[in-house]
C-alpha cells in the first residue's frame, strides 16, 4: 500500500471507529439472536479479524465492576469444588476476583471471608489474641483452626503484654502450662500509622515475623507481619483499606435463624460484593427477596443468574438502590457439569445471555456491570463474551483442577485429578440444605448437575496466564485495545464444518 493510500485508510478507519460507540451497538443483532430467534453459543461464532492500530504492549485487559477495579477480568465460580478462601486469596493477588461458595453454614462463610480479608493485609486490624493464662494446648489448637502462626498476648484492656509464636512452643506436644510462661515479654511495638516501607525495615532490623501496633497507651491497634508485606504483587485487587477484594455467593433470601442472620450481616459488612447464586433469578420471590437483602445487608450486589432482555429489564426497573446494585450475572445451563438445560428443557447459553442482557443494560443503566458465567471451554471464548458486552467472565471448569481449589488430589490410572461437581448435583446437595434455593426448592430429587473428575493443572497462576494471553491476543487480532473497546469486534456465524476446521484436524494420532 502506498504511503498516501495508507494515510487515507487510517483516517477512514479512525473516523469509522469514532462513529461507533457502545451506545449504538445492538448486541442481540450482532450475536444473530434477532435472526429467526436464534439461541447461539460460543462454538457457533467467531470473531472477525480487525484493524490493529496499536502495539500489543498497549492492550489493556483491566476492567471495572461497580466501584471495584480489576487488572484481570476473570472470576472463579461460587462452587464448593472451586472457590474457598485459598482460591479467593490467590485470585485477588493476581488481579481477579474469587467468589466464595455458599454450600456451607453461614458461620463457615464468615470464617472464609475473614481469612481472605486478613491475608496480605498491610495492617491487620481484626487481630486474634490470647491472654496470659491461655493454656499452651489451647494456643496450639487456635493456630491450627485459624491458620495463624502467632498471637499478641493482651490483658483485659487489650494492653500488649507479650507475643507468642510457634517458635516459642516446645517440640513436646504434651507440654503443660500457660502462655505467660513461654511468651516473649515486652515485645517491640510500633505506632498504628506506620508505612509499608517502615514496617519492612523494622521487621528486617529485629529479624522478627510479626510486630504489634499500639497506641500511646499501649493498647493493641493492629498487627503487621512479614508474610503480608512480602512478596509484593503489583496487580492485586484491593479494597479502600488495602485488603484483598473478594465476593460471596449468597441466597436471594435472608436466613430466618437470628444467629445465621448475624453471621451473614458480619460477612456482608466485610466482603466487597454479594453475588446471588441462583440458577434462574427471574422469579417474583427472588426479586422481592433481593430487595430485602439490600435493605438489611451492608454490601454491593450482583444479581443473577438471568438469560434474557426481559429479565434484565425487570431487575433494572425494580427500584433497587443505585448504590447497592452494581451488576448482573448471566448464563443458564452452559457449565460443563450443569444439566439444567437437558433436565428441564430451559436454558440460556452464556454467549446468548450476555448479548441479551448487554442490550438491556445499555438501554436502562450503562453503569451496571455484566458478568458472563459459565460455558467457557477455550481462552478464545472469553474474547467472544467481551465482544457481546461482558465486563467480567466467571468460570469453574478452568479452575477446579488448580492447586488452590478445595478438595483432595486423587490419582486415576496414573493421572492426577481433582473432583469437580455441579452445585445441582446429588453429591453437592448431599452436603446439606444450604443451597436448596439455588434451584427449585421443592424439587429436591431432580439433579441439575453432575459430578466427576477433572485433570489436575497445578498452580492458579499458570491457568490465568494462559487465559489472559489468549484474551489479549484475541483483542489484538480483533482490533480492540481494551476490554472497554471489545464491543468494536465484529462477529460472524460459523457452520459446523467451519467449527471442525477451526480445531486441530487431519493428524495421524
Give the residue numbers marked as catalytic.
338, 438
- Written as nine digits, the cell of 377 is 471451554
Find the angle CA(394)-CA(400)-CA(403) to the nearest 5 degrees. 120
Comparing C-alpha atoms, which of 76, 78, 27, 42 is closest to residue 308?
A: 27
- Say if residues 434 and 104 touch (Cβ distance below 8 Å): yes
Question: CA 388, CA 16: separation in Å to the nearest integer?
Answer: 19
> Within a 13 Å sphere around the CA of 2, how many CA atoms are in the beta-carbon half?
3
In whole angstroms, how far apart are CA 198 and each of 192, 224, 226, 356? Answer: 12, 11, 12, 51
Which residues are 225's β-sheet partners?
A: 210
Question: CA 338, CA 425: separation in Å to the nearest integer?
Answer: 8
123 phi, psi to nearest 5 deg = -120, 120
- Say if residues 180 and 133 touch (Cβ distance below 8 Å): yes
Q: Output b/e per residue, 114-142; b: 16+ Cβ within 10 A.
A: bbbbbbbbbbbeebbbbebebebeebeeb
- Written as nine digits, the cell of 60 is 489493556
- Sheet strands (E) in 269-341: 273-276, 300-306, 325-330
Q: Is 499 helix (H, G, I), strand (E, B) or coil?
A: helix
- Say if residues 390 and 471 touch (Cβ distance below 8 Å): no
Question: CA 454, CA 82: separation in Å to the nearest integer?
Answer: 11
Question: CA 7, CA 489: separation in Å to the nearest integer?
Answer: 22
The counts of H helices and E strands in the chain are: 16, 20
Amino acid at each position: 500500500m502506498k504511503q498516501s493510500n495508507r494515510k487515507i485508510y487510517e483516517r477512514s478507519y479512525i473516523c469509522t471507529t469514532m462513529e461507533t460507540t457502545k451506545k449504538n451497538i445492538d448486541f442481540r443483532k450482532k450475536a444473530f439472536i434477532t435472526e429467526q430467534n436464534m439461541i447461539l453459543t460460543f462454538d457457533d461464532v467467531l470473531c472477525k479479524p480487525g484493524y490493529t492500530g496499536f502495539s500489543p504492549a498497549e492492550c489493556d485487559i483491566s476492567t471495572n465492576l461497580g466501584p471495584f477495579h480489576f487488572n484481570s477480568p476473570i472470576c472463579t465460580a461460587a462452587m464448593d469444588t472451586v472457590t474457598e478462601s485459598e482460591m479467593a486469596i490467590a485470585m485477588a493477588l493476581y488481579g481477579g476476583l474469587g467468589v466464595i461458595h455458599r454450600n456451607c453454614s453461614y458461620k463457615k462463610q464468615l470464617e472464609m471471608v475473614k481469612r481472605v480479608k486478613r491475608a496480605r493485609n498491610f495492617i491487620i486490624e481484626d487481630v486474634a489474641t490470647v491472654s496470659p493464662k491461655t493454656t499452651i494446648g489451647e494456643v496450639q489448637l487456635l493456630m491450627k483452626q485459624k491458620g495463624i502462626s502467632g498471637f499478641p498476648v493482651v490483658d483485659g484492656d487489650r494492653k500488649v503484654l507479650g507475643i507468642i509464636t510457634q517458635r516459642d512452643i516446645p517440640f513436646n506436644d504434651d507440654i503443660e502450662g500457660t502462655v505467660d510462661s513461654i511468651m516473649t515479654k515486652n515485645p517491640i511495638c510500633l505506632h498504628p500509622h506506620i508505612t509499608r516501607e517502615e514496617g519492612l525495615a523494622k521487621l528486617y532490623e529485629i529479624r522478627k515475623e510479626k510486630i504489634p501496633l499500639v497506641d500511646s497507651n499501649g493498647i493493641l491497634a493492629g498487627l503487621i507481619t512479614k508474610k503480608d508485606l512480602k512478596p509484593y504483587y503489583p496487580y492485586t485487587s484491593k479494597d479502600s483499606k488495602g485488603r484483598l477484594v473478594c465476593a460471596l455467593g449468597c441466597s436471594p433470601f435472608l436466613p430466618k435463624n437470628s444467629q445465621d442472620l448475624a453471621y451473614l450481616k458480619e460477612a456482608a459488612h466485610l466482603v466487597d460484593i454479594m453475588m446471588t447464586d441462583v440458577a434462574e433469578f427471574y422469579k417474583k420471590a427472588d426479586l422481592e427477596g433481593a430487595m430485602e437483602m439490600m435493605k438489611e445487608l451492608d454490601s454491593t450486589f450482583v444479581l443473577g443468574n438471568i438469560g434474557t432482555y426481559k429479565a434484565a429489564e425487570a431487575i433494572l426497573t425494580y427500584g433497587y438502590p443505585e448504590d447497592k446494585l452494581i451488576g448482573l450475572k448471566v448464563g443458564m445451563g452452559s457449565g460443563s457439569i450443569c444439566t439444567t438445560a437437558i433436565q428441564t428443557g430451559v436454558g440460556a447459553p452464556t454467549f446468548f445471555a450476555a448479548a441479551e442482557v448487554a442490550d438491556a443494560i445499555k438501554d436502562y443503566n450503562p453503569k451496571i456491570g455484566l458478568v458472563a458465567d459459565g460455558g467457557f471451554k477455550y481462552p478464545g471464548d472469553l474474547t467472544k463474551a467481551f465482544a457481546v458486552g461482558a465486563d467480567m467472565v466467571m468460570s469453574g471448569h478452568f479452575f477446579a483442577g488448580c492447586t488452590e481449589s478445595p478438595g483432595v488430589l486423587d490419582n486415576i490410572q496414573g493421572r492426577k485429578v481433582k473432583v469437580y461437581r455441579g452445585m445441582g448435583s446429588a453429591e453437592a446437595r448431599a452436603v446439606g440444605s444450604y443451597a436448596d434455593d439455588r434451584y427449585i426448592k421443592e424439587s429436591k430429587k431432580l439433579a441439575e448437575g453432575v459430578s466427576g473428575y477433572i485433570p489436575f493443572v497445578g498452580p492458579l497462576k499458570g491457568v490465568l496466564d494462559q487465559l489472559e494471553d489468549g484474551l489479549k491476543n484475541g483483542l489484538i487480532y480483533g482490533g480492540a485495545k481494551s476490554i472497554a473497546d471489545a464491543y468494536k469486534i465484529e462477529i460472524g456465524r460459523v457452520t459446523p464444518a467451519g467449527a471442525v476446521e477451526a480445531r486441530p484436524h487431519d493428524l495421524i494420532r
